[in-house]
């Protein structure tokens, strides 16, 4: 079966489906293959990112390696 034939068959089969839950699930599957890779953020998410960048500029962060060391120390103390 060629790609064209398979697409045509799927289009006809999907047109026969009336189960909205199934169609939504199918849409979710298809969306993962057709999205451009651009993530749409909410205004709250954008605000959080801006605030985080400001905190980083002020030095208000902990290096991951330092945090890992602190966690290991905390876990070994228990």
**Predicted model pTM:** 0.44
* DSSP element (H, E) containing 14: helix 3-15
Given this model, what pLDDT does residue 25 score?
Answer: 94
- Domain of residue 30: give its range: 3-34
Stretch 13-18: mean pLDDT, rounded? Answer: 95
Q: Are 30 and 48 members of one domain?
A: no
- Reported as a single tens digit per residue, the pLDDT across 39-74 is 788 999 999 999 999 999 999 999 999 999 999 999
Given this model, what pLDDT does residue 36 score?
Answer: 66
Specify the number of domains making up the chain.
Answer: 2
Q: Are 28 and 47 members of one domain?
A: no
Q: Are 70 and 47 members of one domain?
A: yes
- Reported as a single tens digit per residue, the pLDDT across 19-38 is 999 999 998 888 877 656 67
CA distances from 44 to 8, 33, 37, 39 (A): 42, 27, 20, 14
């Amino acid at each position: 079966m060629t790609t064209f034939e398979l697409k045509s068959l799927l289009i006809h089969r999907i047109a026969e489906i009336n189960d909205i839950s199934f169609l939504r699930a199918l849409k979710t599957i298809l969306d993962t293959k057709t999205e451009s890779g651009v993530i749409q953020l909410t205004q709250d998410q954008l605000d959080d990112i801006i605030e985080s960048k400001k905190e980083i500029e002020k030095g208000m962060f902990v290096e991951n390696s330092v945090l890992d060391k602190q966690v290991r120390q905390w876990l070994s103390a228990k």
